[in-house]
A and B are shown apart, each in its own frame.
Chain A
Amino acid sequence: MLIEVFGPGCAKCETLLKHARHAVELAGIEAQVVKVSDYLTMAQRGVLSTPALAVNGQLKSQGKVLSSTEILEWLKG
């Protein structure tokens, strides 16, 4: 499983990254959590507002600092 967090590096993006890592721990699954801060990639992936989160290449949320439990929902499915 691949989880991507999009953001240029402001405080919100760092928080979301932390929550994503925590969610993976809670789920107890094998997953790679990466941060994408390249604007070109964000443009290609359709990211309009940061922080954004994608699971397995699919953009799930934009402009929100999700909680670990919210992210967990997508990891279980």
Chain B
Amino acid sequence: MVDDANSARGFFPFLKRGGWVGLALPAWVLAYLAVHPLAQWVAFRLLRLSPTSHLGEAVAFFCYDVPKVLLLLTLVVFVVTFLQTFVSPAKVRKALSRHHAGFGNALASLLGIVTPFCSCSAIPLFIGFLRAGVPLGVTFSFLVSAPMVNEVALGLLLVLFGWKIALLYAGTGVTIAFASGLILGRWKLETHLEAWVQEALNAPALAEAEEAPPSLTQRIAAAVQGVKDIVGKVWPYILAGIGVGALIHGYVPQSLMAGLLGKHAWYSVPLAVLIGVPLYSNAAGVVPIVEALLGKGAALGSSLAFMMAVIGLSLPELVILRRVLKPRLIAAFVAVVATGILLVGYLFNAIL
């Protein structure tokens, strides 16, 4: 951005350089305030549904939740992607290569929350970490934490349910990632990496990357782009998630939910995990389902377990990891993480 200093005069350049984002905030607040009255009007006036009927309840929930969650998502993604421009996998790797098991696992689990991560990057990241001397167990801590403690889901939980549940989710996710990596690291499973990975670890480096830190304008542009990409990609998941949520909200009787996923049913946590693993959804799409589950009397532990199973242990992710891990190692990985999720579910059903 060479011409930044010259064009910084007047209002129009200000808008061009990202200032319009500041003006978007009041518009966002107005839209957010209008969501509830509008939803009521659409469901009960425009469609003339009765507020006490199943259909009325489901439609009102849907019309209220869709714009609300999309607005909140936009704000959360903007803030998160802006902050993420300060953290890159390269920086994380540098930080982790200096630490060993224990502290390294803790650091990896924490950094997993904020690092931008896409499951198609899992393999280059995995190999890159090991090449830089990050221990296998520490790398696993990161690989568990990065998808499971999803920063967008965390932001949505924060704005929908408050800081306690958000903290609970982040805290337990980080703990599972920490413990899983520590255990897997203890088992010395390096020989269970696929042969080509061993080869890739020893291959000489051809060139190392260096990147210039972005300017503020570039950070804002990245955040705007993040909103376009992420909101553009996840809105169908959100619609589907809220649709399922609305059906649960309007039609599933409270007693059924309390029986299946309530805190007194011993099988509720494993059931939640079993349903969750084969389901593939974007993290942001799970949150509305969890919202409806909790509203209908599902226990918090079971709901958290469900959410973590959906986003932390997804089949597509395992298919990708299978390319670098031999079957025994991938089985150990799934077993350790699933056990962690189960423990978290039982723990919170027991104490809350």
Contact = CB atoms under 8 A, between A and B. Distances in A.
B208 A40 contact: no
B11 interface: no
Contact of B209 (A7, A8, A59): A59
B108 to A, nearest CB: 14
A61 B209 CA distance: 8
Contact of B200 (A7, A39, A61): A39
A49 B205 contact: no
A46 B199 contact: no
Given A48-B90, A49-B118, A61-B211, A39 B204 contact: no
A42 B124 contact: yes
Contacts of A64: 222
B125 A49 contact: yes
Contacts of B93: 48
Contacts of B89: 48-49, 62-63
Contacts of A46: 128, 205-209
Nearest to A67: B225
B187 interface: no
A44 B128 contact: no
Contacts, number: 89
A65 B141 CA distance: 27
Given A62-B90, A63-B88, A50 B200 contact: no
A71 to B, nearest CB: 14
Interface in A6-23: 6-8, 10, 12-13
A10 B121 CA distance: 9
Contact of B207 (A12, A45, A63): A45
A47 B229 contact: no
Interface centre among A39, A45, A48, A52 (most CB of B within 10 A): A48
Interface residues of B, number: 32
B127 interface: yes
A44 B205 contact: yes
A61 B123 CA distance: 18
B24 interface: no
Contacts of A39: 123-124, 127, 196, 200
A72 B196 CA distance: 36
A50 B120 contact: yes
Interface string A28-43: 0000000000011011
A74 B89 CA distance: 23
A47 B128 contact: yes
Contact of B125 (A6, A13, A48, A57): A48
Nearest to A50: B121
Nearest to B324: A39
A46 B203 CA distance: 11
Contacts of A60: 211
A49 B207 contact: no
Interface of A: 6-8, 10, 12-13, 39-40, 42-50, 52, 57-65
29 contacts: A8-B123, A10-B120, A12-B118, A13-B120, A39-B124, A39-B127, A39-B200, A40-B199, A40-B200, A43-B124, A43-B127, A43-B128, A44-B204, A44-B205, A46-B209, A47-B124, A47-B128, A47-B209, A48-B93, A48-B125, A48-B209, A49-B89, A49-B116, A49-B117, A49-B124, A50-B121, A57-B207, A59-B208, A63-B89
9 A-B pairs with least C-beta separation: A59-B209, A10-B120, A48-B128, A49-B121, A48-B89, A43-B200, A46-B209, A46-B208, A43-B127
